[in-house]
Structure 1
Amino acid sequence: MIYLDNSATTKPNPEVLKSFQQVSQSFFANPSSIHQLGGETEKLLIKSKQQAADLLQVHEDEIVFTSGGTEGNNLAIKGIAFEHQGRGKHIITSEIEHPSVYEACKSLESLGFDITYLPVNHNGVVSVEDVERAIRKDTILISIMHVNNELGSIQPIQEIGKVAKKHPKLFFHVDYVQGLGKLPIMLHNSGIDLCTMSGHKIHGLKGTGILYLRRGVKLFPLFHGGEQERKIRSGTENLAGAVSFVKALRLIMIRESSERTNLFQLHQYLRSELDMIDGIEINTPKESAPHIMNFSIPGLKPEVMIHTLGKQGIFISTKSACSSKDLDESRIIKACGFKEARSKSALRVSLTYDNTLEEINEFLSKLKEALKQLKDVME
C-alpha cells in the first residue's frame, strides 16, 4: 500500500496509540471527581496541558483541549462572534478557507453578521494589503488559515499578525491544522489570538486537538454544562486523547526539525516529475508547504483516476476530505482563477515524513500507465 492522502488523515504513530491505551486503562476516573482516583487523573490532565504549552512556547492557561480542527475553528469563530457582537458584527476571512471556517462564517451571515471573503491571487495567497483595507470600525475577527489544505499555499500569517496588532479591538484566528508539524509558526507575541490544531493530521488520533487561546481573550462557549476547560468547553475531559495529542505533537516536532529538508526535496522531485507528464497541469504554487501537491488532468474526472490507482493500492484524493464526495468543481482552485476544466479535475497528493522516494516513483509510474490506458479508452 502506498498512502498519499496524509492531508485527509495520517496513520497513528504506535507510540501515540500506546499512550492512549495506557491512560485509558490506568487513568479512567473523571478528572472532576473529588476522590483520589479523580485527583490523580486531574494531575495528569494538568501535566498534559503544561507539556503542550511548553512545546508551543505559550502559557498553560492558553491551552484548550478540543476534539480537533472543526470544533476548534467553530469555537474560535463563533465564540468570538457571539461574545463580542455588541462591539461589531464584521468578520474578515478568505475565499479558500477549510469548510469548517467557511461554513461557520456562512452560518453567522444567516444570523446577521457581515462577512468579507477576501480573494486570493493565482497562487492561492491572500494579500496583506487587502486584509488591512478590509478592516473597519466594527471588525471583530480576522480568520485566515496558515496552509491551504488543497493547494498547499502558505498565507502571510506573520504579516497579518502585525496588522492585527495595530487594531487591539479585533482578534486574529489562524487555522493551523495543515501547517502543524510541517511549517512552524510562533504564537507568543505574534498578533495571533486564537489558533486551531488537530491530532489526526500529525499521526495522532481522530477526536483530539487544541485551541490556543491567548490570555485575556474571551469566548462565548458553544457547549454549556459542567464548566470544564475554564468554562470554555464543558464536558468530561478526554484525558487519554489529550495525552495522546501531546505525545503526537512532541514526536512530530522532533521529525519536523530533523526531516523537513527531506520532505521538501521529495516534494520538489514530485513536482518536477509531474511537470514533465503530458496532460497534467500543476495547481500548487512553487512556494508552498512541503507536503501538498495539487494538479489537474483536464478532461478526466478525478474520481476515475482515484479509483484506478486505488485498485493498485495507491491512495490519493480530490479536494478536502470534508468535501471530497461532492464531485463538482473545487471552490479553492476556482478561487485562484483557474478555468472550470482545471477546477473540476483537480487531484491532491499529500505526503508525510514516512513517504519514500521509492513510493513516489511507483506512484508516478502507475499514474503514467493509468493516463495512457484512460486516454486509449477515451479515444
Structure 2
Amino acid sequence: MGVYADYAATTPLDKDIIENVMVHSDEFGNPSSIHKLGKRAKAHLESSRRAVADLLNASPQEIIFTSGATEANNMAIRGIVSKYDRPHIITTEIEHASVLNTYKSLEAHAEVSYIKTDENGVMNMDHFRQELREDTRLISVMFINNETGVMQPVYEIGQMLHDHAALFHVDAVQAFGHIGVDVKNLGIDLLSLSGHKIYGPKGVGVLYRKTGVMMTPLITGGSQEKDARGGTENSMFIYAISQAMQKAHDGRTERTIREMQMKEKFLNDLTQAEIPFKVNGDVNQSATHIINLYFPWAKSEFLLTALDMADIYISAGSACHAGTVEPSHVLASMYGEDERVMKSLRFSFSHLTETEEIERITEALKEIYERLV
C-alpha cells in the first residue's frame, strides 16, 4: 500500500456519504419541474441549501451551488468586475490559480493591485493599506494558502472593510473543516468552497453571496440558483457536499488534533533522522493539515519522482497545473529567486493519516538523502 500525503490536492470520497446519497437517489427529478417528482427534488435541494447555509451562518438564499471552487471564484470575480467600467480591485501574489489567473485575464478591464507577501507567507498588510482606495470595488484574499498552509489576516481585513464600499471575496477551500468559517463574523461578502477537499465528490462547490451583492451571471441559461447560474442542479452531489460539510464541521476538533499530531510527528522525525530541512512560512500561523518544507540537498522534481517510486504520493505545490512541476509562485513571492523555490515540497495530512505512514515518509527521505550525500 502506498502512502498518501497530498490531501490538500484532493481527499478520498467518504463512503458513508456515498451510501447516504444512494439512499436519496429516488429524488432524481428536475428541481425546476412542476410535477410531484420535481417538487420532491426541489425540496431535497433546498434542504441541502439550508444545511450549507447554517454551517456558514448564512441564509439559504445566499448559497449558490457550482461545479467547484474554480467556478465559484470565477463567478465572484468576473460577476463583480463586469458590473463596473475598469474598477480597481485587489488580490495577493499567493492566490490559487483560479483566482490569480482570473485577475490576470481581466487586467485589460480592471486595474489590479497584487499584494506582496513576507517570508512568513503572510500578505503584507502595510502594502494592502497603501493600495486600498475609496474607489476599490473588490478584494480577494484566500483564507488558508493551499501551498504553505499559512493563514491570512481575513478577520482583520473584514474589520477594515466594515465601512468600505469594496466587496470582500474569500477562497476558503483549505479552511472549512480545519478552522471556523462564519461569514457574518468575518465580514465576508463572497466565499468559495469545494466538495472534494472535505471528503465529498469532485464536481461540486459552493459560492456564498451576501444578500444585496449583485453579480453578472457567468453561466447563462435558465433561472436556476436564484438567476445566478443557469443549468439543472446536480442534486445528488449537492446533497453530498452538504453531508461532507456537516461531517467536517462536527468532527473538526477531533480531526484537527489528529492532523496536528501527524504534522508535529513528521517534523520531529525529520529532525531526529538528521535530514536537513527548513519550514516555508510561519508554522505557528499555519493550518493543521499542510506543511511546506525546503530540502536544500535536492530539487523538487527529483524528490517527487524518488518518493513516487517508493509509493509515497505528495506534491510540490498546487495540483492545478496539469501535472507539471513548475516553480511555485507562492514561494517566489515569499523568497524571490532563492533556490528554495525549486527545492521545496508540500505535505498535507488528514485525520486518516496513520503514524506508520509518517514514519515511512521519513524513512524514504532518509534513504534518498543518504544516497545523495
Q: What's the secondary structure of 1:326's corresponding residue?
A: coil
The question of whether the paired residues in 2 share the 8 Å contact of 1:118 and 1:126 is answered with: yes
Q: What is the rounded CA distance, in whole Å, between the counterparts of 2:281 and 2:258 in structure 1?
A: 19
**Equivalent residue letter for 1:200:** H
Aligned residue among 167, 190, 195 for 1:194: 190
Q: Which residue of 1 aligns with 2:27?
A: 27
Q: Which residue of 2 aligns with 1:4?
A: 5
The question of whether the paired residues in 2 share the 8 Å contact of 1:66 and 1:210 is answered with: yes
TM norm structure 1: 0.93
Q: What is the rounded CA distance, in whole Å, between the counterparts of 2:44 and 2:28 in structure 1?
A: 11
Q: Which residue of 1 aligns with 2:363?
A: 365
Q: Which residue of 2 aligns with 1:153?
A: 150
Q: How far apart are 1:352 and its partner, in Å?
A: 1.1
Q: Which residue of 1 aligns with 2:88?
A: 90
Q: How far apart are 1:186 and its partner, in Å?
A: 1.8
Q: What is the rounded CA distance, in whole Å, between the counterparts of 2:23 and 2:130 in structure 1?
A: 51
TM norm structure 2: 0.95
Q: What is the rounded CA distance, in whole Å, between the counterparts of 2:82 and 2:192 in structure 1?
A: 18
User: Closer, same or farther in 2 for the Cα pair 1:370/1:299, shift >3 Å?
Assistant: closer
Q: What is the rounded CA distance, in whole Å, between the counterparts of 1:324 and 1:280 in structure 2?
A: 27
Q: What's the secondary structure of 2:28's corresponding residue?
A: coil
Q: Which residue of 2 aligns with 1:265?
A: 261
Q: What is the rounded CA distance, in whole Å, between the counterparts of 2:326 and 2:239 in structure 1?
A: 39
**Equivalent residue letter for 1:285:** D
The answer as to 2:307 corresponding to 1:306 is no
**Equivalent residue letter for 1:353:** H
**Equivalent residue letter for 2:64:** V
- Higher alpha-carbon deviation: 323-332 or 345-354: 323-332
Aligned residue among 233, 241, 244 for 2:240: 244
Q: Which residue of 2 aligns with 1:222?
A: 218
Uncovered stretches (5+) of structure 1, i.e. residues with no partner: none
Aligned residue among 108, 123, 126 for 2:123: 126
1:263-321 per-residue CA deviation (whole Å, 9 max, x = no partner) reads 22222222233345343232142221111111122352322222222222211111100
- Higher alpha-carbon deviation: 212-221 or 283-292: 283-292
Q: What is the rounded CA distance, in whole Å, between the counterparts of 2:126 and 2:322 in structure 1?
A: 32
Q: How far apart are 1:252 and its partner, in Å?
A: 1.0
The question of whether the paired residues in 2 share the 8 Å contact of 1:275 and 1:281 is answered with: no
Q: How far apart are 1:36 and its partner, in Å?
A: 1.0
Uncovered stretches (5+) of structure 2, i.e. residues with no partner: none
Q: In the comparison of the two structures, how many residue pairs are matched?
A: 370
Q: How far apart are 1:193 and its partner, in Å?
A: 0.2
Q: How far apart are 1:139 and its partner, in Å?
A: 0.9
**Equivalent residue letter for 1:171:** L
Instruction: Report the RMSD for the aligned CA atoms in angstroms.
Output: 1.6
Q: How far apart are 1:129 and its partner, in Å?
A: 3.4
Q: Which residue of 2 aligns with 1:140?
A: 137
Q: What is the rounded CA distance, in whole Å, between the counterparts of 2:281 and 2:132 in structure 1?
A: 29
Q: How far apart are 1:369 and its partner, in Å?
A: 1.0
Q: What is the rounded CA distance, in whole Å, between the counterparts of 1:318 and 1:326 in structure 2?
A: 10
Q: Which residue of 2 aligns with 1:17?
A: 18
- Higher alpha-carbon deviation: 250-259 or 127-136: 127-136
Q: What's the secondary structure of 2:177's corresponding residue?
A: coil
Q: What is the rounded CA distance, in whole Å, between the counterparts of 2:370 and 2:297 in structure 1?
A: 14
Q: Which residue of 1 aligns with 2:161?
A: 164
Q: How far apart are 1:341 and its partner, in Å?
A: 1.5
Q: How far apart are 1:75 and its partner, in Å?
A: 0.6
Which aligned pairs between 1:68-87 and structure 2 lie closer than 5 A?
68-83=68-83, 85-86=84-85
The question of whether the paired residues in 1 share the 8 Å contact of 2:192 and 2:207 is answered with: yes
Q: What is the rounded CA distance, in whole Å, between the counterparts of 1:189 and 1:353 in structure 2?
A: 27
Q: Which residue of 1 aligns with 2:53?
A: 53
Q: How far apart are 1:73 and its partner, in Å?
A: 0.7
Q: What's the secondary structure of 1:336's corresponding residue?
A: helix
Q: Which residue of 2 aligns with 1:176?
A: 172
1:146-198 per-residue CA deviation (whole Å, 9 max, x = no partner) reads 0000011110100000111120x210000000111111132114321001010
